[in-house]
Amino acid sequence: MTTTPNDLIVRAETRRLACGAKLSATRTKLGQFFTPAPIADLIVGLADIPDKGSIRNLDAGAGTGSLTAALVARAARQAPDLKLNLTTFEVDPDVNASLTATLGDCADVHPVTIDQRTDDFLVWAAEQLRTGSDPQFDLAILNPPYRKIRANGPERAVLDPVGVETTNLYTAFVLLALRLLAPGGQLIAITPRSFANGTYFYKFRQELLSRAGLRNLHVFDKRNTVFADSDVLQENVIFRAVVGHTPSTVRISTSQGNIDEPVSHEVPYGQVVSPSDPKSFIRITTDVAGLNLAERMGALPASLADLQLKVSTGRVVDFRTRENLRAEYEADTVPLLYPGHLSAGRISWPMRAGRKPNALVENADTAPLLLPSGAYVLVKRFSAKEEPRRVSAALLMSSDTPGALVAIENHLNVFHADNAGIDLEVAAGLVAFLNSTPVDQFVRLFSGHTQINAGDLRSLRYPSLEQLRQIGATAGQSVGVGKVDSVVQDVLPDLYP
Ligand SMILES: C[S@@+](CC[C@H](N)C(=O)[O-])C[C@H]1O[C@@H](n2cnc3c(N)ncnc32)[C@H](O)[C@@H]1O
């Protein structure tokens, strides 16, 4: 064979760049971001490939063929006796022309069979599943297209009949590929990180984790380096999942940008996907200190349900009830609390100089939005990227506001006891706990975004009621950030390093 594995990669890279430079309108529509050769090498390097026999690989949304080329180059170097049956799916005719050339080079480098398909992968895969075809692949190595699937988008007619309820193209590609894998088959994909903890991706995580065990997670330390030449600004991960049983550990690796040698370590599976987490969040952390923190947080004794507490998003969406908003508290209104009313772990209401309303009219329309006044724990849902804290919690007491009712705005989460106030000491303890350094560090480590939603708070582990009471009794009303660590540490010494 005259073409070497190196030639294959160099030529594929030239085609990737040339083809990428010509893309315009189709880029967003088809999610065309092609994988640079060093990243393709990293992705393919995660695959477990045998020395001989044959494997069937799926490259769905193959682009110019960077991933397939990297697989073939690896096999040519490390497993010359392994036969590769390659299937590619690419819908863009211009891109397919480059792909054909790269697949031709593949055949010059290594024993392969090639099925280059130009049809829509979603349509084809759904049809295979609908007709109950046998599993077709041993390996799926994907950089799928990323784009939201609209509720009335044409993809729904393809995906709904096979029960793929996901809202992004990339998760649809991953789920369909996963279903087409034989037992023991491996799926390796580079995708946005959003699936790991987004509420929208709950069903995706459930299916992924029930069909397959996560074996590898690779995180890029710096944003914006993977697809730097395509202007992609998002956090990407590479994961490898193996159809069948759940392993006892996951290998987590990290690299800064494209070129560094990855650093990696094995982490117990339960630290990445906690069996007690109803939302099946995939917790991705890369540093050892972070992993130790995750272990300490995971060892806390209670779930929110054990504490008989709930957390919800504040019910008042102000623009939906504009006519009922009032700048000042007056007759027939109830106090309305916004994030701006939170101050140093407590409530400062009303805010006279503020731009936000301080009250909501009490009437039949607003009645379902109100809570009886009492002790509650409020947590801001949003923080700015540069803010030092992700979690900021405050204690609301019945004495903070007049009247028998209170309204909470939608940019706040509220902890309550079945829509009623919480025991005051427990509430104060909970605020202190949430404002402690370990909780903030933990949330920061495992969340790719700056929001904290009720779902995130529901998935945390908590101190016991007794411990919360003890913390609350000692802290009193001094439960703001920066004040609470010594009190929390006295009651929960194991939470601190
Ligand atoms: C993110 S790019 C990645 C390309 C390639 N896998 C790589 O890593 O360089 C996704 C590719 O999927 C193609 N694509 C988008 N929708 C598709 C579909 N429904 N079926 C097949 N290919 C599709 C796009 O044209 C694009 O080339």
pLDDT digits (tens, 9 = 90+) for 186-229: 999 999 888 998 788 999 999 999 999 999 999 876 544 556 55
Sequence-ordered alpha helix ranges (H) in 376-463 = 424-434, 437-446, 454-458
| Burial letters 43-74, b for 16+ CB under 10 A, else e | bbebbebeeeeebbbbbbbbbbbbbbbbbbbb
Pairing of strands 81-89, 52-60: parallel
Q: Tell me the HSE value of 188 on the side-chain side, using a 13 A CA sphere.
A: 22
Mean pLDDT across 470-491: 93
Q: What residue type is assigned to position 137 of the chain?
A: F
Q: Measuring CA to CA, which residue among 377, 350, 357, 367 is closest to residue 405?
A: 367
Q: What is the pLDDT of residues 457-466, one digit of tens each?
A: 988 999 999 9
145 CB within 6 A, ligand 1: yes
The vertex-68 CA angle with 64 and 72, nearest 5°, equals 130
Q: Domains, the chain, ranges and CATH?
A: 5-286 (3.40.50.150), 310-481 (3.90.220)
Question: Which amino acid makes up residue 104?
Answer: G
Q: Give the per-residue pLDDT at 127.
A: 95
Tokens of 14: 């030239």
Identify the pLDDT of residue 261.
Answer: 64
With a CB cutoff of 8 Å and minimum separation 6, the contacts of 427 are 375, 376, 377, 395, 397, 415, 421, 472
Cβ of 92 below 6 Å from ligand 1: yes
Cross-strand partners of 406: 371
Residue type at 109 in one-letter notation = V
Residue 224's pLDDT is what? 46
Report residue 386's pLDDT band, with 50, 70 and 90 as the boundaries.
Answer: confident
Q: How far is the CA of 144 from the centre of ligand 1 (A)?
A: 6
User: Which runs of consecutive H residues, i.e. helices, occur in 240-395?
Assistant: 269-272, 288-298
State pLDDT tens for residues 272-301.
Answer: 888 777 888 898 876 666 767 877 888 899
3-state class (DSSP) for residue 340: helix
- The string of pLDDT tens digits covering residues 89-119 is 999 999 999 999 999 999 999 999 999 999 9
Give the residue whose CA is nearest to atom 19 of ligand 1.
120
Please state, in angstroms and rounded to a whole number, the distance separating the CA atoms of residues 280 and 128.
Answer: 28
- Please state which of the ranges 33-42, 232-241, 400-409 shows the lowest mean pLDDT: 232-241
User: pLDDT tens, 391-405?
Assistant: 999 999 999 999 999
Ligand 1 atom closest to the Cα of residue 121 is 20
Query: Would you state the pLDDT for residue 205?
Result: 95
pLDDT at 153 > cutoff 50: yes
Mean pLDDT of 160-180: 95
How far is Cα of residue 55 from the mean position of the Cα atoms in its chain? 31
* Confidence at residue 286, expressed as pLDDT on a 0 to 100 scale: 64
By alpha-carbon position, which residue is closest to atom 7 of ligand 1?
34
At 49-60, the pLDDT tens digits run 999 999 999 999
Q: In angstroms, what is the span from residue 355 Cα to ligand 1's centroid?
A: 47
**Ligand 1 within 6 A of 191 CB?**
no
For the chain, the average pLDDT equals 90
In the block, residue with structure tokens 């769905």: 60
Name the least confident of 95-99, 178-182, 248-252, 484-488: 248-252
Range 72-76 average pLDDT: 98
Q: Counting beta carbons within 10 angstroms of the beta carbon of residue 368, is it exposed (0 to 12), middle (13 to 18) or buried (19 or more)?
A: exposed
Question: DSSP states of 224-263 as a string?
Answer: T-TTGGGT--S-EEEEEEEESSPPSEEEEEEESTTTSPPE
257 pLDDT more than 60: no
Ligand 1 atom nearest residue 123's Cα: 19
CB 65 within 8 A of CB 97: no
pLDDT-derived band at 235, boundaries 50, 70, 90: confident
Amino acid at 349: W
Task: Determine which residue's CA is closest to atom 9 belonging to ligand 1.
Answer: 34
For residue 93, which amino acid is it? P
3-state secondary structure of 411: coil
Provide, rounded to the nearest whole percent, the portion of the chain with pLDDT above 90: 69
Pocket test for ligand 1, best of 13, 17, 92 (most atoms within 8 A of CB): 92
Ligand 1 within 6 A of 65 CB? no
pLDDT in tens, 401-448: 999 999 999 999 999 999 999 999 999 999 999 999 999 988 887 665
Secondary structure (DSSP) of 109-172: HS-EEEEEE-S-HHHHHHHHHHTTPPP-EEEEEE-----BPPTTSTHHHHHGGGT---SBHHHH
Asked if 428 contacts 480 with a C-beta cutoff of 8 angstroms, the reply is no
Asked if the peptide bond before residue 50 counts as cis, ω within 30 degrees of 0, the response is no
Express each pLDDT in 314-349 by its tens digit: 999 999 999 999 999 999 999 999 999 999 999 999
